[in-house]
Structure 1
Amino acid sequence: MRIAARGEGVTDDGRHVAFAAPGDEIAEDGTITPGPHHQVPPCRHFPACGGCQLQHVDDAAYRDYLVERVSGALAAQGLSTEIREPHLSPPHTRRRASLRVERRGKQVLLGFNEGKSNTIVDLHECHVLLPELFAMLAPLRGLFATLLDHGQRASVQLTRCDQGIDVTLGLSADSFTASEAIQAFAAEHALARLSIDDGLGPQLRWQPEAVTMTLGGVPVTLPEGAFLQATADGEAALIASATVALAGSVRVADLFAGLGTFALALPTTKFAVEGARDAAAALLATRRMQVAHRDLYRRPMTADELAPFDGVILDPPRAGAVEQIRLLADSTAAHIAYVSCNPATFARDAAILVSGGYQLDWIKPVGQFRWSTHVELVAAFSRA
């Protein structure tokens, strides 16, 4: 028995069995007899809640799953390498979340959607969110009760930043009454920031002081909706592995740099490139390195532009970075640290680097989306 990419168990004869774990016995009618790696899910909302898919497996099986996702993606490209022991973020450490809201009569549902569904699971406990984020759900229900009519839907994004909790409400709230309620709510709960997004982008409604996120020991202005690693613990694990991958490099370029998660943590970073204007401006304002605002999908860095750097780190979106990788494969950088949230697109890109003369030295999987099928990794490449 193994765990398939979407989280279901797969028997040796190819049967897919939902919520089966390695070591379980599966009867002909599909009945599961739990084995040594099958655990009691800690949350009452599992398996309905789409926030988690693997609460029924123990940590050993979960680590094996992460390794198999990576090794399987590599095998599909004809690659293999050392896959190091995965890092798992602890429960109750997720520092950002995007939740759904619906008003049903006097009731306000607030939580994650069910898997492959628009049905909202009304969260009364959560074992992945930071406790302070989960504690906001009850008061938010009260606020939405004043802002939504029966049948109306909305969304809410929560982020733990340096100053507290940053909240973005996805709804229209233009009336004077709604504005008063929002201001009072933000003040009562000492929010770091509260914004409204009615579909045209976030509009600031409350911010007592500038909102920042400390990265690499440096407070960086946090633009509304900016990308952050899901947990501080997972971020630290990714940085630690990237540091090892780039050991010996004296001039590092950070591509797809975001707010500087890696650039600010690596003392050898001299140049950072980011396509999001607000993120690039925030990183530039730290005055720690040269920063370029550049869309690396439309205008990837050439081998000549990368020539001054003996190390490169990149952390592209889920689609990977095939155009940039093709040019990076022609570069002279001695070391590359590739951070990915998609084993399949990573493996495709890794094959290009290997064909260009790089050696794939090792991969460190990171499971910072606890109990989900989401897999992140850091890979180390060096010139063969």
Structure 2
Amino acid sequence: MVLTDPDLVVRLAAKGDGVTADGRHVPMSAPGDRLEPGGGAGLIRGAHHVDPPCRHFPLCGGCQLQHVDDPSFADFVRDRVTGALAGQAVAAGVVHPAHVSPPHSRRRASLRAARFGKALHLGFASEGSHRIIDMMMCSILHPALFALVAPLRALLHPMVGDRRAVHARMTLTDRGVDLVLEGVDAEGLAATEMLTRFAQDNGLARLTLDDGYGPQTRWEPDPVTVSFGGVAVPFPPFAFLQATADGEAALVGAVCDALAPAARWADLFAGLGTFALALGEGKAVYTAEAARDLVLALKSGANRSGRRLAVDHRDLFRRPLMPEEIDRFDAILLDPPRAGAREQVLQLAQASVPVIAYVSCNPGSFARDAKLLVEGGYILESVQPVGQFRWTTHVELAAVFRRV
């Protein structure tokens, strides 16, 4: 019998710590690392421990796992999903290898800015802290977003008071970067001219301020849109969008084959229509979404496209589709928030719709909901883990269930 070295790091835990063979958690370690013998606090690096690509790591809270190599990170993404399923005693027919988005592909980010004396710091906050790491480089942001960091620092410097936090929320859209500034006081002609000049000089698609009373657009030469399946949809300021175009494509691809035979299907928690528009051409698609601004945007895009797409303003937590409504469809897709969709899943478990595609940003709530579906007579056919938040502990997935 071969005994594993108890000081050997054998896996990564859900929050990114390495775990030794005897169960100890070791921060900033990678699989294959080993604790120094004799109970020392030092770490002997293994083959999977690499130098981080960003000089701000590990202080910057934007990443937690830049010190592990790509195969180990992909294993971590996959293990997060399989571990959550095992905890609920749910078996998947196939768990595909994890899909991981490349560096410099994040198209959506929220940065913080604050003044400390004469200096203004702009970047991500340290994990579990209000400390802002002044961003001088970034290995995750799309170049179009990172290009705004230095000009934005200069813009905000005279506008941010001491110890006053400001949020800068950026999204890459069809027409360029959509920028929302929260907590900025910009009254008067001089401030307005400065903001307009900044937007023009940096080619912004839109500049919006929110001083606590709701977003106010200050610059938008053309309507801002995002596109799904070739359909342009109006984009509300900093509305939800998958973090990377690459990750979005992976999630859509993972459910494409399951939905292809369905002539009539429903997209629940539809958002701006990521899946309904990408996969709904030539189909009759019903969509349900609770956020009014997203509903109006999706309706506008759908109407202009001529798609057979019905948009319902419906809170699925308070008013889920009932089995008799569900069974009108050939398939159901749901993409709920992190809390999952327990109320809707309880109704799905009682329905007879043959196919359910479930997209999730939380393996824990997904596994809980998967157990309810399996207990209701579905099998979990396949799961595709997706790590579009590269080098973080945030894991997404797309799964396919079929009625037995």
TM-score range, shorter chain: over 0.9
- In the TM superposition, residue 146 of structure 1 has moved relative to its aligned partner by 2.0
SS of residue in 2 equivalent to 1:325: helix
CA separation of 1:269/1:123 partners in 2, compared to 1, >3 Å: closer, same or farther?
Answer: farther
CA distance in structure 2 between the aligned counterparts of 1:67 and 1:370, rounded to whole angstroms: 13
Output aligned runs, 1:1-384, within 5 Å: 1-27=10-36, 28-81=39-92, 82-176=94-188, 177-267=190-280, 268-285=283-300, 286-287=302-303, 288=307, 289-384=309-404
| Amino acid of the structure 2 residue aligned with 1:369 | F
Contact 1:310 1:334 in 2 (8 A): yes
Contact 1:245 1:381 in 2 (8 A): no
SS of residue in 2 equivalent to 1:352: helix
Contact 1:310 1:332 in 2 (8 A): no
- In the TM superposition, residue 171 of structure 1 has moved relative to its aligned partner by 1.3
CA distance in structure 1 between the aligned counterparts of 2:298 and 2:185, rounded to whole angstroms: 32
CA distance in structure 1 between the aligned counterparts of 2:260 and 2:199, rounded to whole angstroms: 45
Contact 1:158 1:168 in 2 (8 A): yes
SS of residue in 2 equivalent to 1:298: coil
**Greater CA deviation, 191-200 or 178-187?**
178-187
Contact 1:340 1:346 in 2 (8 A): yes
SS of residue in 1 equivalent to 2:31: coil
What is the CA deviation profile of residues 229-285 of structure 1, one whole-angstrom value per residue up to 9, with x for unaligned ones?
Answer: 000000000000011232422211000000000000113351111111111111111
| Amino acid of the structure 2 residue aligned with 1:126 | C
Question: What's the RMSD between the two structures over aligned residues?
Answer: 1.1
**Greater CA deviation, 283-292 or 15-24?**
283-292
What is the CA deviation profile of residues 129-183 of structure 1, one whole-angstrom value per residue up to 9, with x for unaligned ones?
Answer: 0011001000001110121123322110001001111000011424213222212
CA distance in structure 2 between the aligned counterparts of 1:358 and 1:196, rounded to whole angstroms: 47
**Greater CA deviation, 177-186 or 38-47?**
177-186
Contact 2:327 2:352 in 1 (8 A): yes
- In the TM superposition, residue 225 of structure 1 has moved relative to its aligned partner by 2.4
| Amino acid of the structure 1 residue aligned with 2:16 | G
What is the CA deviation profile of residues 29-75 of structure 1, one whole-angstrom value per residue up to 9, with x for unaligned ones?
Answer: 23111111111100000000110000011111111111111111111
Contact 2:199 2:207 in 1 (8 A): yes
TM, length-normalised to structure 2: 0.93
Contact 1:146 1:178 in 2 (8 A): no
How many residues get paired?
A: 384
Contact 2:171 2:238 in 1 (8 A): no
Deviating above 6 A after TM superposition, structure 1's stretches of 4 or more consecutive aligned residues are: none
Percent identity (aligned): 52
Unaligned segments of structure 2, at least 5 residues: 1-9
| Amino acid of the structure 1 residue aligned with 2:328 | P
Contact 2:178 2:238 in 1 (8 A): no
